[in-house]
Amino acid sequence: MPNIDAELDRAGLTNSHVREYVHYWAGVTGAERVEVISAADDARLLEESLAAGEIFPAGEGLYYSRSYSKDTARSEERTIVATNDPSDAGVYNNWRPASEMRPKLVDLMTGASAGKTMYVIPYLMSPKGSPLERFAAGVQVTDNRSVVVQMIRMARVGVDYINDLGDSFVRAVHVTGDLPNLGQGTPEDKRYFVTVADERTILHFGSSYGGNALLGKIAHGLRQGAYDGWKNGFLVEQFMLLGITDKQTGERYNICGGFPSASGKTNLAMTLAPDALGDRYYVEFYGDDIAWLWVGEDGKLYGMNPENGVFGVARDTNEATNPTALESIVEGSGAIFTNVAYNEKSHEVWWEGRTKNPPADLDGWLDWKGERIVDRAAENAGDPWAHPNSRFTTTLANVPNVAKDYEDPKGVEIHGIIFGGRTRDREPLIRAIYDVAEGVYDGLTLGAEATFAAEGVDGQLRYDPMSMRPFMSYPESSYAEHWLKVIGAATNAPIFAHVNWFQRGEDGHFLWPGYRDNLRALLWLMQLKNGEVTGVQSPVGILPAKSELALEGLEIDEADLDTLLSIDIDRWRQEMGFREKHLAQFPELPEQIWEAHRRVAEALNAE
């Protein structure tokens, strides 16, 4: 038996509820040692991980790691929200009774960390002193050192964050399991990623990668957070958050928003003003993946990024798409790359889209699985070098344009909420919505285009309400109702907008250049909210008049611009049918949402 109390004493972990929790899980998992972590342990843990061959050097103060090859992404089918109340079951949350899941996970975890160290990571998913602090505290126990160094980057870590919080902490238990023998993706799959939301307990077994293993991030920061928010009057969303300052007028706007996967959320979150507008506008970064939103005592809507780092998708990150990200992973930043390609001789890393072509000299290069590129069989020559979900992990403090007040516990006032679809046609560059119910309706019908051509429904979206489909922890109708309630309580309601950077011409070319130029759409939104422009009313919201968009320094075809600033009524009418079916899945959806749907449908029919 490890001497747990001696270690808890050494670390100054005095919270008796946490101590009891650590004792319990050390007993279940059979760990040989217990070690309490603080952020100050980072350098030592990195040294130990390097010595153990768990990570590799990737330049001065940069690290490389590889996950087990079948453990590379979130696994929605193995992810479960469990509670003690069957009415918590929704369409997307994969609900199971807590009484069924808890014993299953205890059974899987029993003895599963034998011979290993159980690291105890006390963390906070907020700046200290936040009004939501008591929902943000957690203690992850894990038997995986790589998870620890990732968590130190993604969360605020140390015993001081939890010692005074009594029982108000999330119990986040992670056991890696015997990765090569878990039957990932087969009928014998042994993995389970369970959030027992009404017990504020997270039990993840069978992974060491990403949200399956860094429990502060997605399991707590999104799923558990959303459930707590529902019960306690705040919102938790998979949203980026940025601030724009107009240096000429001194006006400041903070915008948050959700984008389905692969729709450029991180790139937008870290964007800079286009060069031609850089003298006037300054963009600050708050967060790329999660926002918690609440109405303050002054009636304003506030938001904060609960994370302390960025776990960004590496693919296609380059000087054009996201120069800010590249600057935040430079030598000395302590960034960790996972599942990208690695050169075992030069210690360089590379991923698809980092440069146009892969390095010409193949000497020393290994793909994300650790296999030599030069030894590849001819039929595998075209395989990607990096996994599509390969990542970089870096702390917020490394991001060059991180907002000066990113650690302010008060959070920042939110002026706009955007939803970013990924649509080849129909969706204009931006359409603004003032009405709260119509804005919430728009979020609920967010989606990215899927290729359902085979079923004859080309152009149909895979709906991803508010980009929360994989993270929903309570029923969708309650989710809609909660949104209406929280945003409806704000005295200065944010303006909503739907943006789409992905419209294409008949020949397939993108009509809009994207990336830094996307800021032009958000500048217009700021000006609309501020009464500086009026836009043009359409059945689906207010579109910019051509003369209102700041187009300095942008070369764009007039006809493309016309298409970007107009809507295709026929495609929209078709879309309304798809939306109706999508929303009809959710029993007892608030009448206000249906009214918004009918208003839009009628406006389209009147055209």
Query: By the criterion CB under 5 A, which residues form the site for Mn ion?
Result: 289
Instruction: Please provide residue 472's backbone torsions phi and psi, each rounded to the nearest 5 degrees.
Output: -60, 130
Nearer to Mn ion, 105 or 313 (CB): 313
Sign for the pseudo-dihedral over CA of 444, 450, 452, 453: positive
**212 to 231: interface string for ligand OXD, x by CB under 6 A:** ------x-------------
Instruction: Indicate whether 211 belongs to the interface with ligand OXD (CB under 6 A).
Output: yes
CA distance 531 to 537: 14
Nearer to Mn ion, 54 or 289 (CB): 289
Tokens of 97: 């009774």
Nearer to Mn ion, 351 or 471 (CB): 471
Using Cβ positions, the residue closest to Mn ion within the complex turns out to be: 289
Tokens of 495: 């303006």
Pairing of strands 63-65, 95-97: unpaired
Instruction: Indicate whether 74 belongs to the interface with ligand OXD (CB under 6 A).
Output: yes
Instruction: Indicate whether 264 belongs to the interface with ligand OXD (CB under 6 A).
Output: no
Nearer to Mn ion, 315 or 431 (CB): 315
CB of 8 to ligand OXD, least distance (A): 31
Q: Which entry of ligand OXD, Mn ion, none binds 303, CB below 5 to 8 A by partner kind? A: none
Amino acid (one-letter) located at 61 = G
CB of 214 to ligand OXD, least distance (A): 8
CB of 345 to ligand OXD, least distance (A): 31
Within 530-569, the residues that bind ligand OXD by CB under 6 A are none
User: In this structure, are residues 302 and 411 in contact, taking their beta carbons and an 8 Å threshold?
Assistant: yes
- Pick the binder of ligand OXD from 311, 463, 474, 572 (CB under 6 A): 311
**288 to 307: interface string for ligand OXD, x by CB under 6 A:** -x------------------
CB of 135 to ligand OXD, least distance (A): 19
Which H/E stretch holds residue 391?
strand 391-395
Q: Which entry of ligand OXD, Mn ion, none binds 70, CB below 5 to 8 A by partner kind? A: none
Sign for the pseudo-dihedral over CA of 474, 475, 480, 482: negative
Residue 471 CB partners (closer than 8 Å, separation 6+):
218, 222, 223, 226, 238
CB of 48 to Mn ion, least distance (A): 29
Give long-range contacts, CB 8 A cutoff, 24+ apart: 54-61: 54/145, 54/146, 55/146, 55/149, 55/336, 56/342, 56/344, 56/347, 57/347, 58/337, 58/342, 58/347, 58/348, 58/349, 59/331, 59/347, 59/348, 60/331, 60/332, 61/331, 61/332, 61/333, 61/334
Nearer to Mn ion, 200 or 469 (CB): 469
Instruction: Please provide residue 456's backbone torsions phi and psi, each rounded to the nearest 5 degrees.
Output: 75, 20
CB of 294 to ligand OXD, least distance (A): 22
Q: Which entry of ligand OXD, Mn ion, none binds 33, CB below 5 to 8 A by partner kind? A: none
CB of 238 to Mn ion, least distance (A): 5
Nearer to ligand OXD, 149 or 533 (CB): 149
For residue 143, the 8-state DSSP code is S
Distances (CA, A) of 463 to 295, 301, 428, 467, 483: 28, 26, 18, 8, 18
CB of 236 to Mn ion, least distance (A): 13
User: In this structure, are residues 19 and 8 in contact, taking their beta carbons and an 8 Å threshold?
Assistant: yes
CB of 351 to ligand OXD, least distance (A): 16
Segment interacting with ligand OXD, rule: CB under 6 A, options 180-188, 210-218, 301-309, 444-452: 210-218
User: In this structure, are residues 289 and 532 in contact, taking their beta carbons and an 8 Å threshold?
Assistant: no
Q: Which residues bind ligand OXD (CB under 6 A)?
A: 74, 210-211, 218, 289, 311
